Amino acid sequence: MRLICPNKSFFSNWIKVEIKKRFESNIADLDNKIFNKEAHNYEIVLLRAKSFLKFKLKSKIRYILSPTTGLNHIDEKIKRLKKIKIISLKNEFDFLKKVNATVEFTIYLILFSLRFDQLKKLNSKNIKTLGNEINKKKIGIIGNGRIGKKVARILKSFGAKIIVYEIKKDNKKKLNKLLSVSDLITLHIPLENNNNFFDVKKINIIKYGCKIINTSRGEIIDEKALKVAIKKKKISYFTDVLSNESNFSKNPLMKLKKNIYYTRHIAGLTKESVELTDKFIFKKFLKLYEKN
């Protein structure tokens, strides 16, 4: 079997060596158009969220390996095909407890957001803008899973006042309170069943001047409504993700010149986390592959 990987820079040396031992491979940093022209001539595709795999009627693909929890970078039509096995980190809860990259990046974005206006003026001769601290800030955490719980624990150690909302347990009243009083809101919910969760009604409740952090998925927010709120309510949006990231330059939020900071889906990309997830996903794939 032959394997294609369009994200050479975002995979560990370990997995590249293991692939070359077993498969004829094309491991490179490919433009998404070139990748989609070539991908369907291979039986195995290895990718991260940096590339979007489109559906094609005639395809040789039998396995898709994606060391990610979300799969919105794979065409929905492909996901429905029984002949293609998708191996990912979805629902691998015990393993994911070991992965810390997105937790750390969330804390970085929170700290950065509180000093953002100050940092922008570092090259100025007269710095007159003061930063802010986490201590005593009301921070709303939407999603109380593995990432939300770790983020909450770290923020508490800084002296933040934490309000947690868990979709499966808490009621609408608690969410509305979180939205209306939080100085900063950080999002940690999966895309599945939560498309446009953060809709115009919720956005309109958010406190004036609130900072929103998103290291989940762009599609969980109504970005058009958020764009209006950023202008009207001076909300700031610090995000690692946007909807339709394969064509992010056309996203409505990218037209804003103020109060938005986008890091292009790098939260999970540390040397440690990449090697850890590469090993897990490739070994999981080999068990399935060797059975067939």
**Is 217 noted as a catalytic residue in this protein?**
yes
Q: Are 240 and 267 in contact (CB under 8 A)?
A: yes
- Measure the CA–CA gap between 137 and 185, rounded to whole angstroms: 11
Cα dihedral 190, 194, 200, 202 in deg (nearest 10): -70
* The residue count for the chain: 292
Can you point out the beta strands (E) in the chain?
2-5, 24-27, 44-46, 63-66, 85-88, 138-142, 161-165, 184-187, 211-214, 236-239, 260-262
**Is 166 noted as a catalytic residue in this protein?**
no
CA dist list (Å): 133 to 108, 130, 240, 284? 13, 10, 21, 43
Residue 264 Ramachandran class (φ > 0 left, ψ -120 to 50 alpha, else beta):
left
Tell me how many degrees the CA angle 269-156-264 measures, rounded to the nearest 5.
Answer: 25
Tell me which of 40, 48, 73, 265 is the catalytic residue: 265
Q: Are 243 and 251 in contact (CB under 8 A)?
A: yes
Closest CA to 23 of 40, 44, 47: 44
**Is 265 noted as a catalytic residue in this protein?**
yes
- Measure the CA–CA gap between 6 and 292, rounded to whole angstroms: 25
Tell me which of 40, 73, 217, 223 is the catalytic residue: 217
Angle between helices 146-157 and 101-120 (to 10 degrees): 50
Residues designated as active site: 217, 245, 265
